[in-house]
Chains A and B, each alone.
Chain A
């Protein structure tokens, strides 16, 4: 009898990878992907086998290190949230060109409805763009099972595989049965086979050959996808409508049909899209409803420009997010799917009248609060000051009572936008970035600032952790001032302050002096995250 566990989708994927003979996980924290790496970090097998699991500086370094593991013949997993795919895109797309040696799986966790993200981009586009197979499990058990399948497919076909989860899978628990027997051994180190060795050098003359091979491989990938149990055509009595579901959308559909779906269903959990199965469906169904979490990738493919004929005229009508049958953006749920199927809502109670929104806020006692208070007090003295923010808890400095930042775009954009704004005449031009975001994507921008002699003040609000995602180790802890000095910031303009109410006068003096200095200055504002401080105090007490 195999063991069963109650696991988040993230954890199911992590356990599946461990049991499949993983040698290393490489990741940067990001909701909703963080728990994959944390599960591996805390699993006894990781210690026993010496599996690499420390956090990386960013998603690009993670992707590249994992590619190195694959080169050496071992199995590697890369984990990130969807926007992390943008950070590692260069390495990711080119990993399809080098191909994989040891199994290489990239887990991208998308966040439709933006529960904790700046956009809702769909990572399936990346797999499609890179010509890489993509697995999208529909439940936690499949997440466990399919990661092994992905490693094996990767090794057999010399291709990395993208595993796509979405928030509702990543952060939902269900019972998962583990495979029987002991975990598979790791691969021995082995270099790429002689006939594929050259593909790891992407000089145009070589990679042209490989890109052609990769394009030809698409037929095999699609055929395998059509033959696999991961994609299934399930018949139903009413052929007026055929339904295509991708990933977890299948669950929402079945929720509406407790006794079994009355229409044929094409359940897709693997791409390239199984064209042959769709053709079998359209042989008898002349309307297709596409239910997919994220952007209408499949729907657009099925529609095609020339075949979008709403009058019928012998063409297949495709319904989904593009014609308003389902909302164009946002996460799916059973109620939206019910509506798309023309069923009535079950709602009995109207929305309550006495509720008001409760947005997230910086914790009481958080150092970012004291930093923003001091910064605001200083900037009140200047007309036209602008503060370019970044990604982290401190983005909440936009909210009342602080209203302290004017922008937040993506990891690292604070100081580089401050540079551009300063070049355009903005003064004071202030960047605000956290310690972990600084080492993720801020250091190269600081080098630009030094080389340009930009008139900016960079405030690094250092809470000694990656706070927003729950307190993971931060790559720059203990090294921030040394990094700034090594990059070339004048040592006398690297100032450190401790954000506490009693220090406001000192903090304000330092911030004001550095704003008045017309060059690159860095103010490091350092106090431990109140959440990790509480945890550390409790752990110390327990000892």
Chain B
């Protein structure tokens, strides 16, 4: 059993905290894991991605080969599209629908969403709005993770992911843990609709 994930977004959006939660859950579950991150110049508002590989068997490459990615998890719709060549035929795309427009030539959102529909297993939801509606405006990344719970379910169930959230945020206090778990659950609910 393996699960190859590309986390994508724009520098500063917080894709690494999603990776940290999944990583923590995977470590607790004794899974093999490799997670390649982007540091440095790109973090200044450029496109960023992280290749996260989970497996019950040893993993060699830190990078996912093209066509083998099981899940693209994106905090930004155009950034989800950027990694389509890596997605497998049966792979999932779970993406935030709120665009982050920090370039003058950002394409029309409708064109982006239309192209995303070429993917069979697609979940598009407004993570920013969902996070605001539960009073946790900074929780968009955990809403997104919650929306991917089904796609991740066969290697890490949602209970383990929630334990991961608790582990990562416990340092910041009970209230922060609760807010992030609530955001995760909101994403989980929304993705079922």
Q: Mark B102-146, 1 if CB is under 8 A from A, else 0.
A: 111111000110110011000000000000000000000000000
CB distance from B64 to the nearest CB of A (A): 8
The A129-188 residues at the B interface (CB cut-off 8 A) are 168-169, 171-175
Which stretch from B26-34, B153-161, B180-188 is at the chain A interface?
A: B26-34
A172:B41 contact, CB within 8 angstroms: no
Main secondary structure of the interface of A (DSSP, over half): loop
Q: Does B43 lie at the interface of the complex (its beta carbon under 8 Å from any beta carbon of A)?
A: yes
Contact indicator B81/A168 (Cβ below 8 Å): no
Q: Determine whether A203 belongs to the interface, using a CB cutoff of 8 Å to chain B.
A: no
Kindly identify, within residues 80 to 116 of chain B, every residue whose CB is under 8 Å from any CB belonging to chain A. Answer: 81-82, 84-85, 87-89, 102-107, 111-112, 114-115
With an 8 A cutoff between CB atoms, is A445 at the interface? no
* CB pair A360 B115 closer than 8 Å: no
Cross-chain contact B63 with A173 (CB below 8 angstroms): no
Would you call A349 and B32 a contact (CB within 8 A)?
no
**Per-position 1/0 for A249-279, Cβ under 8 A of B:** 0111111000000000000000000000000
Nearest to A356 among chain B residues (CB) is B105
Taken together as a complex, chains A and B put the C-alpha atoms of A255 and B47 apart, in Å, by: 26
Of the four ranges (under 10, 10 to 19, 20 to 34, 35 or more), the interface on chain B belongs to: 35 or more
Residue of B nearest to A346 (CB): B67
Query: How far in angstroms is the closest Cβ of chain B from A363?
Result: 6
Are A353 and B62 in touch, CB under 8 angstroms? Answer: no
Contact A248 B66 (CB under 8 A): no
**Mask of B12-26 contacts with A, CB within 8 angstroms, 1/0:** 100000000001100
Q: Which residues of B contact A363 (CB under 8 A)?
A: 12, 44-45
Does B65 contact A362, Cβ atoms closer than 8 Å? no
Contacts of B89 in A (CB 8 A): 348
**Is residue A8 within 8 Å, beta carbon to beta carbon, of the partner chain?**
yes
A352–B82 CB distance below 8 A: yes
Q: Given A255-B61, A334-B65, A355-B78, are A115 and B40 neighbors across the interface (CB < 8 Å)?
A: yes
Q: A354-B111, A469-B40 are in contact. Are A360 and B81 (CB under 8 A)?
A: no
Which A residues from 1 to 44 make CB contacts under 8 A with B? 4, 6, 8, 31-32, 34-35
Asked if B178 is at the interface of the complex by the 8 Å CB criterion, the answer is no
Contacts of A351 in B (CB 8 A): 84-85
Please encode chain B, from 152 to 180, with 1 for each CB lying within 8 Å of some chain A CB and 0 for all others.
Answer: 00000000000000000000000000000
A148 CA to B66 CA, complexed, in Å = 36
A residues apposed to B, CB below 8 Å: 4, 6, 8, 31-32, 34-35, 115-116, 168-169, 171-175, 248, 250-255, 333-335, 338, 345-363, 393, 396, 400, 468-470
- 6 A-B contacts, Cβ less than 8 Å apart? A32-B40, A35-B39, A115-B42, A354-B114, A360-B11, A468-B41
